[in-house]
Chains A and B, each alone.
Chain A
Amino acid sequence: MSQMNGASSLVASLEAAGVDVMFGIPGGAILPAYDPIFSSSIRHILVRHEQGAGHAATGYAQVTGRVGVCIATSGPGATNLVTPLADAAMDSVPVVAITGQVPSVAIGTDAFQEADIRGITMPFAKHNYLITDPADIPRAIAEAFHIASTGRPGPVLVDIAKDALQKMTEFKYPASVSLKGYQPKLAPDAQSITDAADLIAQSSKPVFYVGGGVIKANASRELMELAQLLGAPVVTTLMARGAFPDSHPLNLGMPGMHGTVAAVTALQKSDLLITLGARFDDRVTGKLSSFAVHAKVIHADVDPAEIGKNRFADVAVLGDLKHTIAALIPAVKVALGKNRPDLTAWLRQMNSLKATYPLGYDVPKDGSLAPQYVIERLGKISGPQTIFAAGVGQHQMWASQFVSYENPRTWLNSGGLGTMGYAVPAAMGAKVGAPDTTVWAIDGDGCFQMTNQELTTCALNNIPIKVAIINNESLGMVRQWQTLFYEGRYSNTSLESKRIPNFPMLAEAMGCVGLSCDRPEDVDATIEKAMSINDQPVVVDFRVTRDAMVWPMVAAGASNDDILIARETAPDWDSQEL
């Protein structure tokens, strides 16, 4: 035990929690903490906007599996963290945010830079704290890391009054954390595993509906074993891309609004959804009442409130997915030993759909660049170890569709909140977490203009990320909806010009290399040029056609049965035996 001020106790607590890096910006209320940070072993990366700090913490966490940390001052510093924390909540990312608060006597007086950030974040943070007594700092930090990283991961905010940082206290980091109201379950009940295995052994049309929880639980290896044991098709949601290799013959791709025909249909026609760490999100189910109507449901998740939330579960398996899948493997072996349904017809049907309706796109007849082609080449040239972080929009869907993901934690995106501006700072955090891995942000021209200031941070801190701007001079995804649902009335979705801003010049101004490409024949050489630069961030402005659309598509609120593969074009169901 040693005497120190609250600020030193905070930094010592962060060190004790194993923090090696944090992203933030100082200011009045948090200033006392920045003094011990100056001499701490923790690397602090000075970002240009707190939103960047939050998404960087998320990117770091997604890639490393560790808790990402961001830090900001009171008032506007804290409110700038709201978007990335809400984002981390929706995508179950372990993040701890530290904010300074006005001195405890001033709380509630509308003091300068006072914002009730605990109240503001209460609806979505996994938990949060307001600390006014320095003695509470070590326990709050230990609990915050425990809560953020266990169970269903999520963001935890610790707001600390300035005087609590300044007053003297005794530093004693708790050896362990125990919370009466929080005991996430690791191992599933044996009965639930047996019940699940029995259902699996009765199903002739099973499908693994795999969500991001499998990646969070580091359960990809277990999933591979179980999938191969059963030989059933696998679909990986937007949050689960990479949880199971795209190249595997059992992988049907992504389900949902922009999913493959095979993946969407597999869920629709299945008699058993083996749901692993997924949450029946509306972007996956489409119109819920017409979703997978013939299927029984096994729902395995660590969060009890997800089970049965949107869809009734015939068998609920509550527990950590690594434990759950590991327990399912021997149980399914036993069950299949007694009764092994023949999945041949089912697999033949699904493989036929996969072969008949692969993802594809039209090559523009005027020689302009197809965005899908750029993304496809990025994936091929950069290879399966590369980490990709996408923004939100058409480019995000294409980045999910046209890159082949072979490994978990190589695909980062804002799936739940759909936060434009996620890509650049998330890629920055990812690169800090995996400095030896190539990190590409695949960003939209709209998204890029929300958070590109973090390229300055990257340039100055030796974080050489690569950014591919898919520049279609529009808010393309919104424009697509206007094309389809608003008679082509393009209200406020044109970004007007491929030249303003001049992205390569903007990149150069921030200390990055700026490249551009607008002809298909130059794509490979441009990507290779970008790949050859590793001592500086690189930004490539890919000037693509603005008219490309994301297909397939299930319109919002429509049934998955009404999937279209192109405008007004449904799959030819009559020619499929289903």
Chain B
Amino acid sequence: MAQHTLEVIVENSPGVLARVAGLFSRRAYNIERLSVGPTDNPETSKMDIVVNLEGHALEQVIAQLDKLINVIAIKEIVPNSAVPIVHDTQPDYQN
């Protein structure tokens, strides 16, 4: 199975790492690698999450991650490509 790297921008609020890690554990997804670092914006952090998932399972992880209120954006880094896939499952609020 191919590895996929998700670049997840999260709000820099307490408990965010627990929320993300807890989601993976609760839904029985494996994390291959996880690193957390700052971004230019002090209010956000960036998590790089490497998973060994494909297709439907990968889409589910992304959709569930995106449901976390503190998760702002998810990009999938495509190997050998400068252009990431932007997962925008929560488009603009429309009233």
Contacts and interface: CB of A to CB of B under 8 A. Distances in A.
B1 interface: no
B94 A185 contact: yes
A478 B68 CA distance: 36
B52 interface: no
A182 B59 CA distance: 18
B64 A305 contact: yes
Interface string A297-337: 00000011101110010000010000000000000000000
B72 to A, nearest CB: 5
A363 interface: no
Given A304-B63, A304-B66, A305-B64, A180 B94 contact: no
A249 interface: no
A185 B26 CA distance: 26
Contacts of B67: 303-305
B15 A304 contact: no
Given A122-B18, A185-B90, A185-B94, A179 B69 contact: yes
B93 A181 contact: no
Contacts of A309: 60, 63
B14 interface: yes
B11 interface: yes
B89 interface: yes
B66 A130 contact: no
A186 B72 contact: no
A182 B94 contact: no
A184 B93 contact: yes
Interface string B42-76: 00000000000000100110011011111110000
B40 interface: no
A185 B90 CA distance: 7
B4 interface: no
Interface in A173-217: 179-187
Contact of A118 (B15, B63, B69, B70): B15
A525 B89 CA distance: 56
Given A181-B69, A305-B66, A186 B95 contact: yes
Interface of A: 118-119, 122-123, 126-127, 130, 147, 179-187, 303-305, 307-309, 312, 318
